[in-house]
A and B are shown apart, each in its own frame.
Chain A
Amino acid sequence: MATRTVIPFGPQHPVLPEPVHLDLVVEGEKVVQAIPSIGFVHRGLEKLVEKKDFTEYVFVAERICGICSFIHGMTYCHGVEQIMGIEVPRRAQYLRVIWSELSRIHSHLLWLGLAADSFGFENLFMASWRIREHVLNIIEATTGNRVIFSSCRVGGVARDIDDATLKDIVARLEGLATDLRNLGEVFLDDTTVKHRTVGVGVLTKEHARELGAVGPTLRGSGVASDMRQLKYAAYGDLAFEPLVEDGCDCHARCKVRVREIGQSIDLIRQAAARIPAGEIAVKVKGTPSGEFFARTEQPRGEVVYYLRANGTRNLDRLRVRTPTFANLPPLVKMLENCDLADVPVIVLTIDPCISCTER
């Protein structure tokens, strides 16, 4: 048997924006096994639910992640609303869809940039983030913030978007079509990108299912599963089918995200065309009592919020299962027998969010 060496990867590494650790067992340049460990910056935000009023905790939930913050807040609100039987106004449900999809677009563009950076394509990294700025500008114009929107509330949303602004958002997103098409072509067709992604980090359909993969990691392995199919918020009113690729490698996961940007723009277009007039929030009366598992689709995949309430203004328990946590076992599988040089690219293709995982 060849000599085995353990190489520590992280918690600080140029390709990792946040700390996670992998012990890579290697034989020469081949990774034989990858052993993850987390908890370097665990914040215990779930415990804060015992101290914060249930209507105020949404601000904490939004800070679990700096990228998909809106969807964290929305999932928390959805859970409380289900327990309390609150009927959220339809206009608010549509606005939640619009902000969720804007979050997905900017998250996927952020990931595309980081992926390009991981395989040394700096120009592509900058091109991705340049387009992302336009999306952040839309978010800032509609919420007053660029990342932490603070727009979701238990019972609805805090802000409205008028019809003229909605039309302008759709026009601005459609105006990005050429840039996005050019960007997508490079990611999907460029020889150097394909050299680093095609056939790398393979996760078969069977393994993806068996190991509990979620989001683009799962759909890149040919499984048509997306929590938006549960029809939360206003997704039930919109034409939507999960986008699936069956390449099962880094390139397929990249392709899913490139295509999902276009899908998100289409969902915003549909929502802007169908959004009904009316109230954007209802007054919350009483306190929650009961339990619920709220599930939504973040840019990285399914997030699960378990809420248990006892009739007081503080919840008993909040447990958040983030998509990155679910994608750790599939990541371990993807890294088996890969080249050491491919580890950063493979790690990035699950779009790891350690901020979420260390909630």
Chain B
Amino acid sequence: MIEPQPTEVVTPQRLMELVAVLHADGHRLVQIGATSLADGGVELNYSFDKDGRFSNLRLPLAAGNLTAPSITGVYFCAFAYENEIHDLFGVDVKGNKLDFKGNFYRIAEKTPFLRKPADPQASPPAS
């Protein structure tokens, strides 16, 4: 049986509202992950868990405007994920309470996981 994993696509404003609600309801932040899309955009997945029940918020970011709000004001531990997303995908996370300014990952290549729009391997948006 496939475990139910509800996903809600959100705007930045709605993300902040829901993150606050989930935090108040005792949900644990499981992870924040990024996926590069075919059009040069990036999709962020914010995953939560409460008593084994998994849920996900999805924030799509358009190419040319890879900016997302920080949730470190609610979940401080998000700083690690947000720095990772910045260093590997080039997403500018506004308001990260522990911003390493590109020095969290000591890697030689900048934003190695951000695909160019012409990359035939790039992911289409999830349906």
Chain A positions near chain B (C-beta within 8 angstroms): 21, 35-40, 42, 44, 46-47, 50, 82, 85, 209-212, 229-230, 291-293, 295, 302, 304, 306, 308, 310, 314, 316-317, 319, 321, 325-326, 328-330
Contacts and interface: CB of A to CB of B under 8 A. Distances in A.
B56 interface: yes
A292 B54 CA distance: 11
A326 B30 CA distance: 8
B106 A37 contact: yes
B29 interface: yes
A210 B123 contact: no
A42 B30 contact: no
Given A295-B30, A316-B123, A329-B80, 20 more contacts: A35-B100, A39-B87, A44-B112, A46-B113, A211-B77, A212-B77, A230-B3, A293-B56, A295-B54, A302-B30, A306-B45, A308-B126, A310-B123, A321-B31, A325-B84, A326-B31, A328-B80, A329-B76, A329-B79, A330-B77
A85 B105 contact: no
Nearest to B30: A304
A304 B112 CA distance: 21
A321 B113 contact: no
A47 B31 contact: no
Interface string B79-105: 110001001000000000000100111
Contact of A210 (B2, B5, B35, B77): B77
A212 B100 contact: no
Contacts of B100: 35, 37
Contacts of B112: 44, 47
A316 B123 CA distance: 6
Given A38-B104, A304-B47, A328-B80, A293 B5 contact: yes
B73 to A, nearest CB: 13
A291 B75 CA distance: 25
A40 B76 contact: no
A229 B3 CA distance: 13
Q: Which 4 A-B pairs have the closest CB atoms?
A: A39-B105, A329-B77, A212-B77, A321-B31
Name the interface size band of chain B: 35 or more
A212 B47 CA distance: 12
B54 A293 contact: yes
Nearest to B100: A37
Contacts of A40: 106
Contacts of A82: 2-3
B123 A317 contact: yes
B33 interface: yes
Contacts of A292: 2, 5
A85 B1 CA distance: 8
Nearest to B34: A319
B77 A37 contact: no
20 contacts: A35-B100, A37-B104, A37-B106, A39-B87, A42-B105, A44-B112, A46-B113, A209-B28, A210-B76, A211-B77, A212-B75, A295-B30, A295-B54, A304-B30, A314-B121, A316-B35, A317-B35, A319-B33, A325-B84, A329-B76
B35 A38 contact: no
B82 to A, nearest CB: 11
Interface string B37-52: 0000000010100001
